[in-house]
Amino acid sequence: MRYLEQISIRVNQLLFWIAGVALISMMLLAVANMVLRVVYVPFGATAEVIGWLAAITTAFSLGYTQIKRAHVTIDLLVSRFPPRIQAFIDTIIHFLSTTVFALAAWQTFLYAAHLRQLGSLSETLRVPYYPLVYLVAMGLACLAFALLIDLLKSVLGVINK
Amino acid sequence: MSPVAMALIGIAVMLLLMLLGMPIGFAMLFAGFLGLSIVASPQAALSILSTDLWQQFSSYGLSVIPLFVLMGQIVFRSGATEGLYNAAYKWVGHMNGGIAGTTIAASTGFAAICGSNAATTATMGTIALPEMKKYRYDRALSAGTVAVGGTLGVVIPPSVVLIVIALQTEQSVGRLFIASILPGILLASLFLLTVFLVCRKNPELGPAGPRSSFKEKLTSLSGVIEVLVLFGLVIGGLYAGWFTPTEAGAAGSFCALVIALVRRKLSWKNFSLAVVETLRTSAMVIMLVAGAVMFGRFLTITRLPFYLAEWAAGLPVPPIFILVIIILIYLIGGALMDALGFLTLSIPIFFPLATELGYDPMWYTVLITIITTMGAITPPVGINVYVVNGIAPEIPVETVFKGVSIFLVAYIVCVILLILFPQIALFLPQLLY
Amino acid sequence: GCTAGKETTTAKPETGKEAETVEPISLKYAFFAPAGTFPAVQMEKWAEEVEKRTNGKVKVETFPGGTLLGAKNMYDGVLQGVADIGLSCPSYEPGRFPLLSLVDLPVSFPNAKVASLVLWDLVQEFQPESLKDFKVVTVFATEPAYIQSVSPVRNLDDIKGMELRTPGTGVPVLEALGAAPVGMPQSEVSQALQTGAIEGYVSSREVLKDLKYAEKVKYVTDYPTFVISFAALMNKDVWNSLPADVQKVIDDLGREMALWTGEYLDEHVKEAVDWAIKEQGVQIVTLSPEEKAKWDAELASLQDEAVEKLEAQGLPAREFMDRLYELRDKYSKEYQ
Ligand code: NA
Ligand code: NA
């Protein structure tokens, strides 16, 4: 269990780090494009590439955001219950969250494969963009993994408390 | 079962999940997914789930969010906000309640560059609470001031909430920003007025601080210049038309970074903290948006928004009563939920209704944003109140709520003025466009 | 995109006029752009006609404004049963509908009506492989896109390096003419024009009035470039489940809607251009015959390249293109 949690933290930290690089690249690309526009001609596919960087930025920060409990929650009601009931409710909630994001990750993998098979190209650059969809699927899978750890922890909470 | 009944059950399920502690974005996503599985088909729901997440995450429009949050974070981490606070203190600190007023003023300034409620509260709380404690300000007043000042983050542009609504309702982000400037200033002024009226009646709540010399006042301004320049550049450039919102966020972050580096105010550690906080905040916000979109798809397919809008529009009462009903719903929603969460969730239901009733979309957006934002300081879910309590655990939540309560009058006055004089929101956009 | 809900109120479904005791067949019809746009008007018209001609046996629920499906997931959403019918542009998913993409090359259609009829006939005659999982409800096209700019474009020197917003289809066209194509969402164009981030755009001309772009752009270069095709595609299983009489109504409407939409758009464009000229002082820039020949020469190779590429993939692109020109000339004579 502890071992699994360590893997989840490490993997999500790595993705989070890449998300940071994507964020800074996004800023630099937009600024560079503004400068280019003034001194020469702009890079026409800026919007497209920024969209891709934004996808990495978001998808790769989801898991670590979950680990750090930064998603907005209302804990008004649950915090008043006894610990064991809390753990029980947590188990249900984490089970549902894990399920929906595992499904999302799986479907996004399929979607990427579908785009690859169709030969879909991006609108401006006309290059295949399915690899980015795979990356988003990976981000979602890592979020599901982080949630799974939370689920296991709350199950242990029900048993131990 | 009729789709409309399904929609109502879907809303109930979503609220239940939220109350049981599921993150708001996840709850919307899950309820939307479940609802679509039943109303359409599991296959359809799975398809929407994956394609929508990809579309939201890779949306150029939503990329403004991380960029604006990054700008606010860099400014905060480089200490520029402290300078802003310091200057305001030098100018008005000698008056009764002056430091509380300073907090409002500094919140206003920070709100002008930061897009988020909780971030403004957290920032101002860290800086202002120790100061007010030092000068023996009343705990309730201090905490209330910080919490209420934080709500300006959403109202005064740039604001993530306004960006999200603009994208959701196909309004111009720039125009919506301009429309909310005067209402934001009005609200801030009403807060200031409240502080001074309260402290005039009970001077012991906010004892006067030391008087500063004119020279001290002037020198203090140097700490403000960088924030003002940045604000001028970003907002001015956006309005003057040098760049699009996404570019404004990028340019703002870049300039904040350059200023901080040139003035040697940003360590590598603080820079990475800024990036970390940005990623967390924007992942949280974009998850909210993605969840709301998914839930919106479900509501759309049940056609509930359509029937609801048709029902309310067909009520044999004047539009103003329907508006009052909407306002009451937003008061309750804002009290129960985070402003961004509730706004993104409810926009698909009420926005078409409001436009059908002939209300100006911009004015309406500003109005409901102010009303919902008020929810950040009201029980049961007052995000800002909890943030203040989180920063200063020695101030109990009840005390913060008590401190905040005196400002509710200011909010109500602001809303009434905005309804009576829509020009407060519409004047600037009409002037500039 | 995230335009949830906005347009639902304007998309009032027609209630079955002579509602029978049996539950009507319900069809969900989705489109990515708001209700006021011409493809959405077409969608409402189609819904109305189907309900009328089937005597209320079919009820069409329309979802414009991307409330159900967006531009990029429209056709996949139809395949997966999110909507029964989806209206989108095949060119928004480059690579997916190779043969159809030839219609979007700069082949000088005179107007939307001709382009729409040519597209319809080609789809019927060639039955492209990429459409085999769908039932084609109708197809139509915009009028050709024109260069609409803040400063006049009179020759290839004027356009050199000019930053023009274009849909993906126009990127190679603008590059061939020497301009700097910029891809951005329609929602950003107004602001980008205001800011000078772009110096104009390439589009059919109804946007001059519909989106008030004439307040910023003052010149329209009278050189027709590419059209944007639209295809309303139905889920094949849904199609197969429909009774024969309903299928017949929908089949009959296919070409009729192509014609109707082309006509509607041409009329609408004419109004918009008149308005732009009268109310906003927009000027039409005409190219000299020599200049036009130069432009044609720059663009000619685009078609050869596209055809060769698809031929290499084993698609009948040459035959398709030849037939396209035949049909274009035939309908141009009929509807100039
Ligand atoms: Na703000
Ligand atoms: Na509240």
pLDDT of C20 strictly over 50:
no
Choose the mutation target among C31, C59, C79, C82 for the interface with B, i.e. most B CBs under 10 Å: C82
pLDDT of C50 strictly over 90:
yes
Q: What percent of chain A has pLDDT over 70?
A: 95
Q: What would the mean pLDDT of B291-296 be, rounded to a whole number? A: 83
Is the domain of B50 the same as that of B83?
A: no
pTM: 0.80
**Residue B280 forms part of a structural domain:** no
Range with the largest mean pLDDT of B389-403, B414-428, C10-24? B414-428
Q: What would the mean pLDDT of B355-369 be, rounded to a whole number? A: 89
CA of B399 to the centre of ligand 2 (A): 15
**Cα C105 to Cα C168: distance, rounded to the nearest angstrom:** 12
pLDDT of C14 strictly over 60:
no
Q: What is the pLDDT of residues C139-198, one digit of tens each?
A: 999 999 999 999 999 999 999 989 899 988 888 899 999 998 887 777 667 767 877 778
Q: What percent of chain A has pLDDT over 90?
A: 61
Is C163 close to A37, i.e. CB distance below 8 A? Answer: yes
pLDDT of B8 strictly over 70:
yes
For residues A50 and B246, is the Cβ–Cβ distance under 8 A? yes
Confidence category of residue A137, pLDDT binned at 50, 70, 90: very high
Chains sharing 3 or more CB pairs under 8 A with chain C: A, B
Q: Which of B302, B330, B352 is the last residue of a domain?
A: B302
Is the domain of B118 the same as that of B44?
A: no
Per the structure, the complete domain to which residue B35 belongs is given by 1-58+289-302
The widest CA-to-CA distance across chain B, in whole angstroms, is 74
Under 8 Å CB pairs connecting chains A and C tally to 50
Confidence category of residue B311, pLDDT binned at 50, 70, 90: confident
Is B23 close to A72, i.e. CB distance below 8 A? Answer: yes
Lowest-pLDDT range, B191-205, B234-248, C67-81?
B234-248
For residues C2 and B351, is the Cβ–Cβ distance under 8 A? no
Is the domain of B321 the same as that of B231?
A: yes
Range with the largest mean pLDDT of B28-42, B151-165, C60-74? B28-42
Is the domain of B148 the same as that of B166?
A: yes
Is the domain of B148 the same as that of B50?
A: no
For residues B196 and B95, is the Cβ–Cβ distance under 8 A? yes
Would you state the pLDDT for residue C1?
A: 28
Is C1 close to B61, i.e. CB distance below 8 A? Answer: yes
Is the domain of B245 the same as that of B196?
A: yes
Lowest-pLDDT range, A35-49, B107-121, B340-354?
B107-121
What residues pair up with C232 in beta bridges, in sequence order?
A: C87, C138
Q: What would the mean pLDDT of B375-402 be, rounded to a whole number? A: 79
Give the number of other Cβ atoms within 10 Å of residue B176's Cβ.
23
Would you state the pLDDT for residue C317?
A: 93
**Residue B70 forms part of a structural domain:** yes
Sheet architecture: strand order including C180-182: C180-182, C163-165, C200-203, C146-149, C219-221, C283-285
Q: Which of B280, B302, B324 is the last residue of a domain?
A: B302
The more confident residue out of C34 and C60 is C60
Q: What is the pLDDT of residues B398-422, one digit of tens each?
A: 888 899 999 999 999 999 999 999 9
ipTM: 0.81
d(CA A87, nearest CA chain C) in Å: 35
Would you state the pLDDT for residue B259?
A: 85
Question: What separation in angstroms does the CA of B339 have from each of A2, B164, B348, B354, B368?
Answer: 37, 11, 15, 19, 10
Q: Does B358 touch chain A (CB under 8 A)?
A: no
Choose the mutation target among B36, B50, B51 for the interface with C, i.e. most C CBs under 10 Å: B51
**Residue B83 forms part of a structural domain:** yes
**Residue B343 forms part of a structural domain:** yes
Between CA B112 and CA A50, with CA A64 as vertex, the angle to 5 degrees is: 55
Is the domain of B63 the same as that of B28?
A: no
**Residue B282 forms part of a structural domain:** no
Tell me what the pLDDT averaged over chain A comes to. 89
**Cα B88 to Cα C293: distance, rounded to the nearest angstrom:** 68
Confidence category of residue C8, pLDDT binned at 50, 70, 90: very low
Is the domain of B93 the same as that of B234?
A: yes
Is the domain of B308 the same as that of B330?
A: yes
Q: What would the mean pLDDT of A20-46 be, rounded to a whole number? A: 87
CA of B182 to the centre of ligand 1 (A): 13
Beta-carbon contacts of B382 under 8 Å, excluding residues fewer than 6 positions away, are B147, B375, B376, B400, B401, B404
Q: What is the pLDDT of residues B147-192, one digit of tens each?
A: 999 888 888 877 777 877 876 776 777 788 889 999 999 999 999 9
CB contact residues (below 8 A), chain B span 280-299, against chain A: 280-284, 286-288
**Residue B331 forms part of a structural domain:** yes
CB contact residues (below 8 A), chain C span 50-109, against chain B: 61, 63, 67-70, 72-73, 76-77, 79-82
Is the domain of B366 the same as that of B380?
A: yes
Lowest-pLDDT range, A75-84, B148-157, C103-112, C253-262?
A75-84
pLDDT of B323 strictly over 80:
yes
Count: domains in chain A = 1
Confidence category of residue C59, pLDDT binned at 50, 70, 90: very high
Nearest CA in chain A to B66: A23
Select the residue of B70, B288, B381 nearest A23 (Cβ to Cβ): B70
Choose the mutation target among B19, B22, B389, B398 for the interface with A, i.e. most A CBs under 10 Å: B22
The more confident residue out of A38 and A115 is A115
Q: What would the mean pLDDT of C12-21 be, rounded to a whole number? A: 44
Is A55 close to B380, i.e. CB distance below 8 A? Answer: no
Per the structure, the complete domain to which residue A21 belongs is given by 1-160
Count: domains in chain B = 2
Would you state the pLDDT for residue A152?
A: 93
**Residue B378 forms part of a structural domain:** yes
**Residue B283 forms part of a structural domain:** no
The more confident residue out of C185 and C295 is C295
Q: Token pair for residue C189?
A: 């164009």
Residues in chain C closer than 8 A to A111 (CB atoms) = 76
Q: Does A77 touch chain B (CB under 8 A)?
A: yes
Is the domain of B39 the same as that of B182?
A: no
Would you state the pLDDT for residue B119?
A: 66
Would you state the pLDDT for residue B380?
A: 65
CB contact residues (below 8 A), chain C span 215-274, against chain B: none
Q: What would the mean pLDDT of B100-121 be, rounded to a whole number? A: 74
Is the domain of B10 the same as that of B79?
A: no
CA of B244 to the centre of ligand 1 (A): 17
